[in-house]
Amino acid sequence: MARTPARRKPRMAAPEAPVRPAVVPQPAAPRPAPDRAAEPHLHATLDRAAMASLARLTAGLSPHAMLDAWSDWAMHLARAPGRQLELAERAQSNALKLARYAAAQATGQPQDKPFAPGPHDTRWTHEGWARAPFALWQQGFFATQDWWHAATSELRGLRRQNADRTGFLMRQLLDTVAPANFPLGNPEIIDRTQATLGRNLLEGAAHWADDACHLLTQEHRPVPEAFALGEVLAATPGKVVWRNDWMELIQYAPTTDEVQAEPVLIVPAWIMKYYILDLSPENSYIRWLVGQGFTVFCISWRNPGAEHAEWSLEDYRTRGIMEALDVINAIVPGQKVHANGYCLGGTLLGIAAAAMARDRDDRLASITLMAAQLDFAEAGELLLFLDESQVAFLEDLMWSQGYLDRPQMSGAFAAIRSEDLIWSRAVRRYFLGEADRPTDVTVWVNDTTRMPARMHSEYLRGIFLENRISAGRFAVEERVIALKDISVPLFVIGTESDHIAPWRSVYKTALFTGCDMHFLLTKGGHNGGILSEPGHKRRHYRVGHRPAGRLYRDPDTWLAAHEPVEGSWWPEWGRWLVRQSGGTVPARVPGSHPDYPALADAPGTYIHQS
């Protein structure tokens, strides 16, 4: 039966004691009943219900936000004759390039293509795009893309967000009419249809029907048997040593006779299931870390439902990170903890660490932040989806159903890379008749979670939209926290092609802290860059050290000053972690503490919730 621990204020460490003594958590006080007098008027409830109904039809995108972007762009362009003349000249130039290319093709003369696809657009790799008429159709599409990119670029007086949003919307509209998306316009589809006598189209129709059924019913696809959780994925041996309504705490079984004295706590994002860090044995970050001689604990978050709508960001801090630290302190007494946060888990860890520093709670030995932002002023393309109108729209949707559901989140992430994640997949699946080939990463991507309404609203509004953490306006227990109070060593990791947490945004942790800090930039994206196990081909990283008190360097200056190092970044970080540790002790067996016996084998029960 699950134990329910207490939600307590952080305790002050005695000046002479380097580590706070562990205290067994106590039952939490019940949440007070809602104040009915404070409930909204019926008219406001009607408005929210209407917006929630509309949000279901638009996949959570606010029509007002989109119309505002278009109108802002159109009015500023209408009063800019210079830009209009520039765009007319660009249209003429693009048309001449196309005409020269068409003439060269018609006469059989060699001619380089004047326009090229984007770096993430894989729709045009088939050799058929080099022959007529497909090559000309392709180039005409690219020429149109090029013109609209210029048309929606920055314009004096136009809000930058509206310019970016208009360009994004135009890319989505153009992608719907790309020749690669149509059987008669795509040479690869034509060749495949001829080779299979149309079987690819029949198989594609079956795939479309299957996807449509799952979309309409919102049915969660089970994890394939070939990637069974606990057997193939998330298979690192360990025990669940603590469980509450928010999380399970897993302690992993050692594989070495001795381990570093200080344990490691991994805090994953609640927007994902934790096993992105424990995939197949050959690329499991957790398995590798255990093999380096560390006592590893990891939080596995619950997948909440409508009944958990009132869970707050503070609940995740207290009932997640702080409670996990209490349990670890009891299991491993007298030792500080290396805390490691990934993505939003790193953002929450930064909040918790700043609050602990403010309250003289010195239980952390070091902090590692992996692809985690503490400042959101430059949060990349996700800002396209967020303004006051959009947040209010999502809040109404979450108010009606109690959470933000998986399709409403995954659709936003996919739209940012729609040419690859949406259209290329659709062509392969529906026209080429190719079934999805699951990998450990794609299985994890499809095994999504929900976000409690209150918590996600607090995150979107307070952290993302209003950027309160780095601005010194984020309060924990009614007192503002400051990142500069953090004094323990930091190791911050960014990834070069991250479109969720851009590395320059991640790097800004250096701007708001003054402690000893290493920053490492690795090749790859938000997930692929972190999953960079030793032996992974074509990987490199850069790493730099900023001693405490050193002056700030901007990200581009930092990049120019650090040469790439070939290989995985994991050993580099592992060596740093050993340097922050105090020597080895006999290995610890999970579940052996009398107050924290094993509740279940890893990966626990919450990971299976859909």
Burial of 200 per CB tally in 10 Å (0-12, 13-18, 19+)? buried
Catalytic residue among 213, 298, 343, 515: 343
Annotate 374-391 with three-state secondary structure: CCCCCCHHHHHHCCHHHH
CB atoms within 10 A of CB 587: 14
Q: How far apart are CA 490 and CA 546, in angstroms?
A: 10
Q: How far apart are CA 149 and CA 143, in angstroms?
A: 10
Cis peptide before 603 (omega within 30 of 0): yes
Q: How far apart are CA 395 and CA 402, in angstroms?
A: 10
DSSP type of residue 506:
H
Provide φ and ψ at 469, rounded to 5°.
-65, -60
Record the tokens describing residue 574, joined without a space: 């592992």
Whether the CB-CB separation of 104 and 110 falls below 8 Å is answered with: yes
Counting Cα atoms < 13 Å in the Cβ hemisphere of 285 gives 25
Largest CA distance in the chain: 87
Q: How far apart are CA 276 and CA 310, in angstroms?
A: 27
Q: How far apart are CA 137 and CA 141, in angstroms?
A: 6
Q: Does 298 qualify as catalytic in the annotation?
A: no
What is the end-to-end Cα distance of the chain in Å, rounded? 21
Could you please report the per-residue DSSP string of 68-127? HHHHHHHHHHHT-HHHHHHHHHHHHHHHHHHHHHHHHHHHT-----S----TT--TT-SG
Task: Please identify every residue annotated as catalytic.
Answer: 343
